[in-house]
Structure 1
Amino acid sequence: MIKIAFCDDDLLVLNELSVLVDRYRVSHNREIAYTTYNSPLELLAGIERGTRYDILFLDVLMPGENGIETAREIRTWDKSVKIIFLTSSEEFAVQSYVVGAYFYQLKPIWEESFVRLMDSVLAECIKSQSDSLILKCKDGITRINLTQLEYCEVIGRVLLLHLSSGKVLESSGSMEELSRQIFKRGGFIRPHRSYLVNMDYIQNISYRAITLYCLTQIPIPRGKYAEIKQTFLEYAFQSEESML
């Protein structure tokens, strides 16, 4: 299910967008849910309460707080939502991309251009969903690409996700739930109850530890070496990696 929000102070525009998305989801047989907001403050209140959207159509010129300022606040809570600005002027085009806009759509919005835009942004959303994981972190809702996740460890009730960039994200939750979600996608192993490892980053496996390319060592419990080695070799074979 793709979740969309429309935010515009013009009720006629909101109605037009609602009609367009209704036609689109019927003609393309898509599961799409949408919510309309008449003011940016209403939208921000919903997002701060934890409501999450995949796509956001946001009017640039609104009373009180314009769309660029609203988007800047949204990015403190959600860095992954696809933001599409709506405007009758190109004046704010450059500023829109500073806040990570997906597209800058000029009004009026014709159905043909709306369909092309929806095809494009939905393809991006579907790709992101299959290759990524959404987490509630200290700095807001974050989508991480699993190919960039080297390993995860749990300390107390805090999950620490180590990315290939060197960044470490903190998230609350259980290792069991995280493992359940990630194992659906494959490529990960849980050698120890406190660690989850991306096998693409394994450099060496010894009787005592897994060594990653970043030189971090993950402990191997006694008696688990053979099982871990076999899992890794099977993964490397399926990935068609060269082995000597």
Structure 2
Amino acid sequence: MIKVAFCDDDLSVLKELSVLMDRYRVERNQDITYAAFHSPLELLSEVERGTRLDIIFLDVLMPGQDGISAAREIRKYDTSVKIIYLTSSSEYAVDSYEVGAYFYQLKPIWQESFYRLMDSVLRECLRNEKNSLILRCKTGITRLELDKLKYCEVTGRNLLLHKEDGEVLDSVGKLDDLCEQLKDYECFVRCHRSYMINMDYVKSISNKAVILSDGTQIPIPHGKYSELKDKFFSYFFRKNQTFLA
């Protein structure tokens, strides 16, 4: 289900957006739920409580706090939500892209342009969903692109997800659950009860450890080498690559 939020101090705009969304989800047969917020403080309070949103329609000019500063606060908690600015002026277009805005929609919003925008952003959401993972980290809600996940390790009740750029995401969870989520992605293999690796980052494998491309050594339990070696050979063979142990 796609979760959408509308935030505008003009109640007539909120009503208009609600009517458009009701029409859209019926005509397009889309599973979408939405909520309307009359001020950015109400929206921020919801985000701070941990509510995950897929799309936010956010007015730029509102009393108390403008949409640009509100988006900066939202990004502290959620780096993946698609933010679409609503305004009657293109004056703030440059600022909108500084906070990773998906689009800048001028008012008034016509049904044709709304439908076209929703079609586009939903395609993007679907594309991201297929190749990424939503995580609740200490830094907030983050979307992790799976091809950038090098390996994951368990420390206590936390998962440390190591990315290719060196960033480490700290998320509460179980490795069993993560492996279940990624079971359809053949590149991910659990090589140890405390480690899961992305085989695309494997440099070599011995009977004691898997060596990743950056030199990281992941231990292999006694008696696990043959099983892992077979998985590696099979995976790289299907990718038409040569793998030497």
TM-score by length of 2: 0.97
Of 97-106 and 17-26, the range deviating more from structure 2: 17-26
Identity of aligned residues (%): 61
User: For the residues of structure 2 that align with 1:105 and 1:180, how far apart are their CA atoms?
Assistant: 39
Secondary structure at the residue paired with 2:133? strand
Distance 2:157 2:243 in 1: 38
Residues of 2 paired with 1:134 and 1:190: CA distance?
Answer: 20
2:227 aligned with 1:227: yes
In structure 2, what residue type is equivalent to 1:20?
L
5+ residue gaps, structure 2:
none
Q: Using the alignment, how far apart are the partners of 2:145 and 2:45 within structure 1?
A: 27
Cα shift at 1:138: 1.3
Aligned pairs (5 A) from 1:91-240: 91-240=91-240
2:239 and 2:23 map into 1 onto residues whose CA distance is 42
Q: Secondary structure at the match of 1:75?
A: helix
Q: Deviations over 1:62-118 (max 9, x none)?
A: 111110011000000000000000000111111111011000100001111111111
More displaced stretch, 148-157 vs 183-192: 183-192
Equivalent position SS for 1:101: coil
Distance 1:242 1:218 in 2: 21
Aligned to 2:16: 16
SS of match in other structure, 1:218: strand
Retained in 1: the 8 A contact 2:186–2:235? no
For residues 186 and 10 of structure 1, the distance between their equivalents in structure 2, rounded to whole angstroms, comes to: 49
Partner SS for 1:76 = helix
Q: Which moved more, 1:184-193 or 1:139-148?
A: 184-193
Supply the distance in 2 between the matched residues of 1:34 and 1:185 (Cα, whole angstroms): 31
Deviation of the 1:232 alpha carbon: 1.4
After the TM superposition, list the runs of 4 or more consecutive aligned residues in structure 1 that deviate by more than 3 angstroms.
none
Q: Secondary structure at the match of 1:46?
A: helix
- Residue 241 of structure 1: how far off its partner (Å): 2.7
- Name 2:84's counterpart in structure 1: 84
One-letter amino acid of the structure 2 residue matched with residue 106 of structure 1: L
Offset of residue 186 of structure 1: 3.0
CA distance in 1, matches of 2:23, 2:214: 50
What value does the CA root-mean-square deviation take over the aligned residues?
1.1
Kindly state the Cα deviation for residue 137 of structure 1 after the two structures are TM-superposed.
Answer: 0.9
TM-score by length of 1: 0.97
Question: Which 10-residue stretch deviates more, 47-56 or 154-163?
Answer: 154-163
